[in-house]
Amino acid sequence: MTSPAELAEAFQSLYGSRPRIYRAPGRVNLIGEHTDYNDGFVMPAAIDFSTSVAIDARDDRRIVIRSENFSEPVELDLDQPPARGRGDWSDYPFGVAVKLEGTGQRLRGANILVRGEVPIGSGLSSSAAIEVATGFALLDIAGAPIDRLDLAKVCQQAENEFVGMRCGLMDQFISCFGQTGHALMLDCRSLAHQLLPLPENVRLVVCNTMVKHELAASEYNARRAECEESVRLLARELPEVRSLRDVTIEDLERTGGELPEVIRKRSRHIVSENARVVAAAAALQREDLKTFGELMGESHRSLRDDYEVSCEELDLMVNIANQAAGVFGARMTGGGFGGCTINLVAADSVDIFKQTVASGYAQATGRVPEIYVCTPAQGAERVA
């Protein structure tokens, strides 16, 4: 855990002034994968890993940023903003600064020190955490009001246009709106959302495969393009369809024969996954963890077989988890191609669950997994 006092001291010895400190969390997604950019439903929770930003205003319009994970400082001149990132970690915070200015905000230059605790490349959204923490901090030191929804959207826009990753809104939204003890069901079309308390007797256990396959970013954008292609094809027969959110399984069965096989499978995942999120929210509300867990299992199989974004390590991790004591459900979480699984586990079985998964996975792969027992956490804030 980052001690704000330590971070402030590190900042002071680098830049010579006292900073303000902000933080924003990473997330885990309980169910609803790849549905966000299809106007669908998702159910993430913010986790107790966050990225902290220590910041102090400068007299000019330059942003100088350092991360404790990367030694060299990087600079951005707000008066000469580049159109795109340069392909390194600073693209995330700088993209947010550039896009905030693009909305008409007048930012101040700043010195920044970043401390990231969200494991990078693990599918827990370290990118949204640094985006939201930086955006929140830059607005606040400029004296601008913070509208969390606008901030989440600007951060998504930065990632889409400045970084070049065509992500949906889920990660930035939950990093802004997470509430302690709650998962959040979000309708990505209307942006209506509902907080769902997590029952006392379960834990969210996140298991890290410790692998991240190269294709994650390119395949992500490819999936998104396939969904768009599906909408284009389906709309010829179903003119009211604007996104896969508007399509039912019956529609797919009726008209799907004309879709190319790959597009049909991708669409089937999105359409069935949306239905699973709705069912899962109802199950959670009546504390029916058995049903919730079964839906997680179906989600994983659909991501593996129809959407094809899982990988050997994720499948293995899920299979081992499914045989462990006290587990209600297990699935990959996030974009896929490595990263983490999310497991819903009875509170009194967490220790044995961790041992089973850790030893089973290490035996099969030679890799020691990291396992985090997460408590749903609060969204972005200024730290006292």
* Catalytic residue annotation: 171
The yes or no reply on residue 173 touching ligand GLA (CB under 6 A) is no
Token output for 231: 């909408």
Task: Give whole-number Cα distances, 135 to 96, 116, 140, 203, in Å.
Answer: 6, 15, 8, 31
Q: Which of 297, 298, 356 is nearest to 324 (CA)?
A: 356
Q: Report whether 304 contacts 310 (CB < 8 A).
A: yes
> Is the CB of 96 or the CB of 170 nearer to ligand GLA?
170
Does the protein bind ligand GLA through residue 36 (CB under 6 A)?
yes
Question: How many Cβ atoms are within 10 Å of 372's Cβ, its own excluded?
Answer: 18
Residue 24 is a binding residue for ligand GLA (CB under 6 A): no
Q: Most distant CA pair in the chain: distance in Å?
A: 67
Residues 6+ apart with CB under 8 A from 53: 21, 22, 23, 93, 112, 113, 114, 115, 130, 133, 134, 136, 137
Our finding on whether 34 is near ligand GLA (CB under 6 A) is yes
Q: How far is the CB of 169 from ligand GLA (least distance, A)?
A: 7
Residues 60-99 that bind ligand GLA (CB under 6 A): none
Choose between 217 and 238: whose C-beta lies nearer to ligand GLA. Answer: 217
Instruction: Kindly tell me which residue out of 125, 126, 134, 302 binds ligand GLA, with binding defined by CB under 6 A.
Output: 125
Which lies closer to ligand GLA via its Cβ, residue 52 or residue 125?
125
Minimum CB distance to ligand GLA, residue 355 (Å): 29
Among positions 215-274, residues that touch ligand GLA (CB under 6 A) are none
Should residue 167 be labelled a site residue for ligand GLA when binding is judged by CB under 6 A?
yes
Helix, strand or coil for residue 187? strand
The residue count for binding ligand GLA (CB under 6 A) is 12
Residues 314-343 contacting ligand GLA, CB under 6 A: 334-335
Shortest Å, Cβ 75 to ligand GLA: 27
- Least Å distance, CB 247 to ligand GLA, is 18
Name the residue nearer to ligand GLA (CB basis): 326 or 335. 335
Indicate the helix (H) or strand (E) that contains 185. strand 182-187
Strands 20-29 and 44-57: antiparallel
What lies within 8 Å, CB to CB, of 308 at 6+ separation is 265
Q: Which residues bind ligand GLA (CB under 6 A)?
A: 29, 33-34, 36-37, 125, 167-168, 170-171, 334-335
